[in-house]
Amino acid sequence: MQADVVACGAVVTGELTVVLRDSRGRFKRRVKTSNLVVTAGKNVIADRMKSSPAKSAMSHMAVGSGTTAASAGQTALTTQTGSRKALTSTTVSGAKITYVASFNAGESTGTITEAGVFNASSSGDMLCRSVFTAITKGASDVLQITWEVTIQ
């Protein structure tokens, strides 16, 4: 996993699992990879630690076809495919938060090579971004992403 130091010696790491299923729910492909918590994401984490945060909590995920390596200064995916999806679930267990989103049939089809977590349906702040081996999502396929972010 890729790690970044944020504050007080804390290290933030992330890992996502991307699962592609066909229209009948049959498994087609799985990719598991690390991510980069970008500078804007670190700023959100710091802001959310105060009593009256100005930044919203993470609420959406997006996928895209960009292949540019993740870098700290990025604030969006390089080539977003379709619309951002509201998170299906957000759970916290100890110092780990898990975000889940599903891109259903007809949504964000084509070659998917990048993903990100955001705090708005458009604009807003990106927490983290990952670039991974291409997954081809057909019109009837469902793509589910489970993203774990851990503060150590």
Counting as low any pLDDT under 50, the low residues of the chain are 1-7
* Long-range CB contacts for residues 31-35, cutoff 8 Å, separation at least 24: 31/132, 31/133, 31/135, 33/130, 33/132, 33/133, 34/1, 34/2, 34/130, 35/2, 35/70, 35/128, 35/129, 35/130, 35/147, 35/149
- pLDDT computed for residue 8 by the predictor: 58
pTM confidence score: 0.92
Phi, psi of 100 (to 5 degrees): -130, 135
- Encode pLDDT of 116-132 as tens digits: 999 999 999 999 999 99
* Residues facing residue 93 across a β-bridge: 96
Cα of 147 vs its chain's centroid, Å: 6
- pLDDT computed for residue 6 by the predictor: 44
